Amino acid sequence: MMNRAYYISAEELAHRGRSNIPSELLSSAHLIYSSPATLAFNSPGAQGFGVKRAGLAVPGSVMLLISPGCCGRNTAALSKEGYNERFFYMMMDETDIVTGRHLAKIPDAVREICEACDTAPTAVMICITCVDALLGTDMKRVCKKASEYAGVPVIPCYMYALTREGRLPPMVAVRRSIYSLLKPASKKPDAVNILGYFSPLRDDCELYSLLRQAGVRKIREISRCLDFGEYLKMSQANFNLVLNQEARYAALDMEKKLKIPSIELTRMYQLDKIRNQYHLFGQAVGVTFDDQKYYDMASASVEKFHKNHGDVIFAVGEWTNADPFELSLALIRYGFAVSEIYGTVGDMNFSYIKKIARLSPKTKIYSNLSPTMLCYDVCDSNVNAFIGKDAAYYHPGCVGICWNEELQPFGYAGVTGLFEALDTALGKEGD
Amino acid sequence: MTTVIKYLSPFAPDISGAVSVLFELGGLIVICDAGGCTGNVCGFDEPRWFQKKSAIFSAGLRDMDAILGCDERLISKLQDAVSKTDAAFTAIIGTPVPAVIGTDFRALKHMAEKRTGLPALTVETSGAGLYDEGEENAMLALFQNFATEAFPVKRGTVGVLGVTPLEFSNLRAGDIMAAAVEHSGLGRAVCYGMGSGLDSVQHASAAEKNLVVSPAGLKTAEYLKTTFGTPYIIDCPLISEDLNRKLTGLAGKRVLVIHQQVLANSVRNRILAGTDADVAVASWFMLKDDLKQEGDFRLTDELRFAAAVEDGGYDVIIGDSFLKRALRHYHGQFIDFPHFAVSGRLEE
């Protein structure tokens, strides 16, 4: 009988290689522990941006959730966020689940909710769940019919949790959905879209300034579009900047349908890598970015924190605005100790693990989703600061930051903001 | 006309009810889903999740599991988890996925028991039912599996059936209920599933009588009566102090109490004990004919709810304030009576 949480050292994991990852770290190989540490990303409907909230990123839209009651239950939690008036439900009973007879009722339901709205919605997002995934519902066809009947755009949002590890998981599919209303338009060379998140970048993000240096005058993010008209102008973009790989399919759709090419950037916390990425980005668009002052500011924040708290030992989680392995690698390279990482190991981040293994071989790697995390005992840990809401759960007595705010950190501003937030949180100890 | 919910949001489903009954009993609970249902239970419908650890896991089903049949793979994962945690039994809870693919829960039970060596419960919930159905089924399965031996009756003990946070909107409902039972002179209470463990369930036959405090407990009370001869009464001695204080000035008024039936009936009795109001009970959940009085009715959807309130001419409604959203034209008095299964809100 195991009575401790499973972990593996970075050294051992790197040695095993990406083709021999232990089953405890592979969520498909075991039951999934949905601890309070994992709710936002394991079941995003519960907290954070899941399909339901993300689908409403289209300005003026409403959502009709078509499902058994269980799928819509936790939507009540979103009422605190001001979504009360934008969610509607069509409840399936057990006969619907088996026969799919609910599909014939959707056009009427769409018309009914449009009539119930004080202001006519710009679009009705139809959210469907595992039941329709299994029934093989052609929801595009159903939506087309509903749209013709109700006189409003009707778009499917697939909350198919069953396909989470497939080619088109729900959070990828919903990103396609929210841009699917855009129509071809004449291009404006000084317009750019930022894709990837459902909330804006931090206002102090240097990306805005750098784009202006390159002659961009109009930078659009869906979350900053005040109305549907502004949203539709996203079709005018000269190119899309994709900041989250889950938006890659949406960008490909836009390239095909709207002739908008895209460039992908990655969120990182290693300053030299950020600088290199901007350099390559500049080459791609034919400019040389002057990013020195942003680099210096970020570098100064790292140094200041190191001076105040150089002996801190971190636990880094994945319920945070970072890849926990990349962030851990950055911290280690800046001279900090990272004792524990809670993350999902995959092809994308294995290269970070190999680097961590060289610099900090004893760093322990846990999977939040492993059933053994039920036995996690903080007494076995030497951590004294956390980053990530999941890490905070495991270390209730430590100081740290959740770093999961809705305003998205990116680039140098992300690094600066991170270390300033850490400095504030740990300040009392350092003072 | 379709049944569309425009003002409210869905109530706690059967899955949440089933888990609520089993949460504190030391079992390894597997919700047979892809992750979303478990997230709903853990992140929303089970407020104890953030205070107490319980071995609740998602089966982590994927499309190919559902298409090709997932039983063997699920049982292997269950066996693996049992080997790494300390569980007294296993429980497999249904969701829409097994409902669509027609999972054989009896086979799952046999396979789980054979492979883990532990007793296994299965609760065939579909996610389309309401929490009280899930509670009823889980409670009955629990007692049928574990309350099988006749122990000598301990005089003065009362088994309390039907206490969960979903029913009573309080994380301390077990303790408060036990105190209320003792204060009312009924005896020393054992609240199954809230404040007492699996051992209490196994010794359920030792209770002198049972007290059913929500309709979900009735079938289990019947089982214990049939199996061990334990008599039961249906009543709820627990009405919060906050609500008690608000039950004034109701003389001569038409009052509608909306909650789970047993608790709502107790509120009606409390009102009528002190005044001559005209009180009806309504519920979105089980409404047992034996417990109904003339004028009581079941609520089924927003439209009919609003119409029933208007037609009934009620001066006062006692119910979860979340329901006010569906009563846009009601201008009478509304006394808040939280029901976690409705609003996800605990008593303050």
- Domains (ranges, CATH) in chain A? 7-30+291-430 (3.40.50.1980), 51-174 (3.40.50.1980), 191-265 (3.40.50.1980)
What pLDDT score was predicted for residue A43? Answer: 58
| Sheet (strand A62-67) strand order | A154-158, A124-128, A62-67, A87-91, B4-5
Q: How confident is the model at residue A192 (pLDDT cuts 50, 70, 90)?
A: very high
Least confident of A159-173, A260-274, B13-27, B121-135: A159-173
Taking contacts as CB-CB distances below 8 angstroms, the residues of chain A near B51 are: none
Q: How confident is the model at residue B103 (pLDDT cuts 50, 70, 90)?
A: very high
Residue A45 has pLDDT above 60, yes or no: no
Residue A277 has pLDDT above 90, yes or no: yes
- Considering only CB atoms, B13 lies closest to which of A36, A64, A69, namely A69
Q: Which residue has the tokens 């009709």?
A: A64
Which of A43, A64, A370 has the highest number of chain B CBs within 10 A, making it the mutation to test binding with B?
A43
What pLDDT score was predicted for residue B274? Answer: 85
Closest chain A C-alpha to B275 CA, distance in angstroms: 37
- Tell the burial category of A164 from Cβ atoms under 10 Å away from its Cβ (0-12, 13-18, 19+): buried
Closest chain A C-alpha to B217 CA, distance in angstroms: 22
Say if the Cβ atoms of A131 and B63 lie within 8 Å.
no
- The answer to whether A284 and A214 are in contact (CB under 8 A) is no
Searching chain B, which residue's CA lies closest to the CA of residue A113?
Answer: B6
| Interval B257-310: pLDDT, tens | 999 999 999 999 999 998 999 999 999 999 999 999 999 999 999 999 999 999
Closest chain B C-alpha to A367 CA, distance in angstroms: 14
Tokens of B152: 């000598």
Searching chain B, which residue's CA lies closest to the CA of residue A27?
Answer: B60
Give the SS3 label for residue A8: strand
| Interval A80-129: pLDDT, tens | 677 888 999 999 988 888 888 999 999 999 999 999 999 999 999 999 99
Least confident of A167-171, A266-270, A282-286: A167-171
Rounded distance, CA A194 to CA B301, Å?
43
Q: Do the two domains B14-143 and B154-234 of this chain adopt the same fold?
A: yes
The 3 state secondary structure assigned to A60-103 is: CCEEEEEECHHHHHHHHHHHHHCCHHHEEEEECCHHHHHHCHHH
Q: Which of B101, B37, B34, B32 has its CA nearest to residue A136?
A: B101
Buried b (16+ CB within 10 A) or exposed e, A66-88: bbbbbbbbbbbbbbeeebeebbb
What pLDDT score was predicted for residue B97? Answer: 93
Residue A26 has pLDDT above 50, yes or no: yes
Say if the Cβ atoms of A94 and B128 lie within 8 Å.
yes
Least confident of A80-89, A217-226, B18-27, B192-201: A80-89
CATH 3.40.50.1980 is the classification of domain B14-143: yes
Beta bridge partners of B158: B189, B209
| Interval A372-406: pLDDT, tens | 999 999 999 999 999 999 999 999 999 999 999 99
Taking contacts as CB-CB distances below 8 angstroms, the residues of chain B near A64 are: 4
Taking contacts as CB-CB distances below 8 angstroms, the residues of chain B near A393 are: none
Q: Average pLDDT of chain B? A: 95
- Amino acid at residue number A213: Q
Taking contacts as CB-CB distances below 8 angstroms, the residues of chain A near B76 are: none
- Amino acid at residue number B323: L
Searching chain B, which residue's CA lies closest to the CA of residue A135?
Answer: B100
Which of B85, B125, B131 has the highest number of chain A CBs within 10 A, making it the mutation to test binding with A?
B85
The 3 state secondary structure assigned to B309-341 is: HHHHCCCEEEECHHHHHHCCCCCCEEEECCCHH
- Provide the sign of the torsion angle of the four alpha carbons B83, B104, B139, B145, taken in this order: negative
Q: Which residue has the tokens 């026969």?
A: A99
End-to-end alpha carbon distance in chain B: 39
Say if the Cβ atoms of B57 and A92 lie within 8 Å.
no
The CATH number assigned to the domain with range B241-343 reads: 3.40.50.1980
User: What percent of chain A stands above pLDDT 70?
Assistant: 96
DSSP label at residue B218:
H
- Considering only CB atoms, B63 lies closest to which of A1, A129, A133, namely A133
B91-109 average pLDDT score: 94
Least confident of A68-72, A266-270, B129-133: A68-72
What pLDDT score was predicted for residue B144? Answer: 98
Residue A145 has pLDDT above 60, yes or no: yes
Say if the Cβ atoms of B40 and A87 lie within 8 Å.
no
Which of A32, A92, A96, A99 has the highest number of chain B CBs within 10 A, making it the mutation to test binding with B?
A32
Rounded distance, CA B89 to CA B243, Å?
39
Rounded distance, CA A331 to CA A229, Å?
43
R_g (Cα) of chain A, nearest Å: 23
What pLDDT score was predicted for residue A431? Answer: 46
Say if the Cβ atoms of A76 and B96 lie within 8 Å.
no
ipTM score over 0.90, yes or no: yes
Domain boundary assignment for chain B = 14-143, 154-234, 241-343
CB-CB neighbours of A397 under 10 Å: 7
In CATH terms, B154-234 corresponds, of 1.10.10.60, 3.40.50.1980, 3.40.50.1000, 3.20.20.140, to: 3.40.50.1980
Residue B200 has pLDDT above 60, yes or no: yes
pTM of the model: 0.94
A131-149 average pLDDT score: 93
Closest chain B C-alpha to A143 CA, distance in angstroms: 16
| Interval B229-242: pLDDT, tens | 999 999 999 998 88
Q: Which of B99, B109, B116, B93 has its CA nearest to residue B17?
A: B93
Q: Which residue has the tokens 């049944």?
A: B3
Rounded distance, CA B167 to CA B172, Å?
12
Rounded distance, CA A174 to CA A141, Å?
17
